[in-house]
Structure 1
Amino acid sequence: MNRAIDIKKIEKIKTNKGITIGELAMHGKVMLIFLRQFGCTFCRETLADIHKKRRAIEAEDTDIILIHQKEEDYARQVMEVYDVEGLHRISDPNLELYTLFGLKKAVFRQAFGVRVWIRKFISRVFKGHLKGKNKGDGKQMPGVFILHNGKVLKSYRHKFTSDKPNYIKLAQCSLS
């Protein structure tokens, strides 16, 4: 689903570093990564993936902003575990940005279907991303959006909670 997003509504929102989304998006691309709740295996896997791919993403003139559902102090602690605490982040406990970007609540098969359980098993057993205590809305679907100069250049809306976006390919999108 490609729906229009009113970028004007988010341009003045500040990250934990006091810089607005609009300011970042004027100087280069911005990758907004909407996370699931912090207890989710796939949220933890995403943070580990971003840690590994951060340099390659930033080499594409793309700043990363992690959008999460908890208060900032808790988020900082989680980010430290995955060595991504230096990234910009935005606390959205009321899910207003998730809603603005059209990210829906998961239906049963999106969160608990067979393909999700297979990926969950692999992520937990072979990659060590164990489930934690639910810290946010467990039904909230994640997503990734690339912004520049008031426009959404590219987006990835998860069909299943277990989807793995190609963050580097998303960052490589052209500015036109």
Structure 2
Amino acid sequence: MSTFSVDKETMESMLTNQGTNLWQLSLGHPVLLVFLRHFGCTFCREALSDIAKIKPRIESKGISVVFVHMTENKIADRYFQRYELSGAIHISDPECNYYAKFGLVKGNFTQLYGLQSWIRGFQSSVVEGNGAGFRRIGDGFQMPGVFVIHKGKIKDAFIHRLSHDRPDYESLVLNCCEIK
């Protein structure tokens, strides 16, 4: 259970590509809110691949998946389509204001480029096929995070310590909310 909170005004200002806001969405059902790294990052693409695999199971439980990214919606839509996430609900935050409101910080050298990140990057990009990322589309120092929000409250969170941390998205939502 998270003790961290974000105010209603912030959630109301987080408008999705579909015209609703995070506050409204969370009142109806739990939301898995995924703050992504920049789209050029192999770990961002790994997250999209991981979520694409489990999204139908999560949504069948009445949970919405919402992404926050650092680019314009048209560019984001191309990445979501590439990872079989067409129609994804997402929020554009090029200035990383929402990242900051949710307590997500800029990474330091070790968090972003340490030896463990290089090893995991090779595994993700070459072994798992997520490709090497060299073109930054957003702030390359911004750390990601994942939050479960229901009825305007953060129920659980996964804050990345390292850029290559790989959360168990499904367990995160299924273990903290009353689900139909």
Q: TM-score, normalised by structure 1?
A: 0.94
Q: How much does 1:69 deviate? A: 0.1
| Corresponding residue number in structure 2 for 1:169 | 171
Count residues in correspondence.
175
Spell out the pairing of 1:79-118 with structure 2 (5 A cutoff).
79-118=80-119
Shift of 1:110: 0.6
How far apart are residue 27 of structure 1 and its match? 1.1
Partner of 1:21: 22
CA deviation after TM superposition for structure 1 residue 6, in Å: 1.7
C-alpha displacement of 1:11 = 2.5
Correspondence 1:75-154 to 2 at 5 A = 75-132=76-133, 133-154=135-156
Q: Contact 2:5–2:153 (CA<8 Å) still a contact in 1?
A: no
**Cα contact 1:11–1:20 (8 A) shared by 2:** yes
Deviations 1:86-141 (A, max 9, x none): 12000000101001001001111111112111111111111111123111111100
Deviation digits for residues 27-75 of structure 1, max 9, x if unmatched?
1101110000000000011111111010122133210101000011111
Are the equivalent residues in 1 in contact too, given 2:126–2:132 (CA < 8 A)?
no
CA distance in 2, matches of 1:131, 1:42: 10
Deviation at 1:168, TM superposition (A): 0.4
Aligned sequence identity (%): 39
The reply to whether residue 66 of structure 1 matches residue 67 of structure 2 is: yes
Distance 2:41 2:137 in 1: 8
1:154-165 correspondence runs (5 A): 154-165=156-167
- CA separation of 1:71/1:110 partners in 2, compared to 1, >3 Å: closer, same or farther? same
Which letter maps to 2:164? S
Distance 1:3 1:131 in 2: 34
Aligned in 2, Cα 1:99/1:28: closer, same or farther, shift over 3 Å? Answer: same
Give SS of 1:89's match: strand
Query: Structure 1 stretch 52-61 or stretch 94-103: which is displaced more?
Result: 52-61
Q: Which runs of 5+ in 1 are unaligned?
A: none
Q: Does 1:9 align with 2:10?
A: yes
Separation of aligned partners in 2, 1:47 and 1:128: 12
Aligned mates of 2:16, 2:98 — CA distance in 1: 13
Within-5 A mapping of 1:32-47:
32-47=33-48
Structure 1 stretches of at least 4 aligned residues deviating more than 4 Å after TM superposition: none
3-state SS, counterpart of residue 44 of structure 1: helix
